[in-house]
Structure 1
Amino acid sequence: MEYIADRITIDPDLCNGKPTIRGIRITVQTVLGYLSAADSKEDILEAYPSLEPEDIDACLKFAAKLMEKHYDICQTA
């Protein structure tokens, strides 16, 4: 299991290798989905009591780090 920023884990045997929070079965994608639907941190923490506020912050930082990658955009006619 690989730990990223002490909160985000990637384990090929857990949730099909998707990044999860502290090795529990809650994916970063799930948290980001809630945030993109305008749910508050409090809403997410209520839905997932095993999460901590720092977990949500770690998800946002993880997503921001992914966006630092350079993407070549190819257009085809």
Structure 2
Amino acid sequence: MEQIFDRIFIDPNICNGKPVIRGKRIYVQTIMEFLSSGETHQAILEQYPSLEPEDIVACLKFATELTNHSFIIKQAVA
């Protein structure tokens, strides 16, 4: 299991290796989707009472770190 930012974990045995919050089965992707659709931090915390405000901040940090990498787009082979 790899721990990222003290709250984000990646474990191939939990949720098929998708990044989750503190070993829970709550995907970072789920929280990011809520945020991108305009949900407030408070609304997310109400929907997921086991989360803490710092968990949402960790998701944002994780997403920011992902965009800090360079990417190469490969053309599809026909």
Same fold (TM over 0.5): yes
- TM alignment of 1:1-77, pairs within 5 A: 1-73=1-73
- The number of aligned residues is 76
1:54 deviates by 0.2
- Deviations 1:13-60, CA, capped at 9 Å, x for gaps: 111110000000001000001001100000100000000000000000
Q: Percent identity?
A: 59
Stretches of structure 2 lacking an aligned partner (at least 5 in a row): none
Stretches of structure 1 lacking an aligned partner (at least 5 in a row): none
Q: What's the secondary structure of 1:6's corresponding residue?
A: coil
**Which contiguous aligned blocks of 4+ residues in structure 1 show a shift greater than 4 angstroms?**
none
C-alpha RMSD of matched pairs (Å):
1.2
1:5 deviates by 1.1
Structure 1 length-normalised TM: 0.92
Structure 2 length-normalised TM: 0.91
| Partner Cα separation in structure 2 for residue 9 and residue 73 of structure 1 | 27
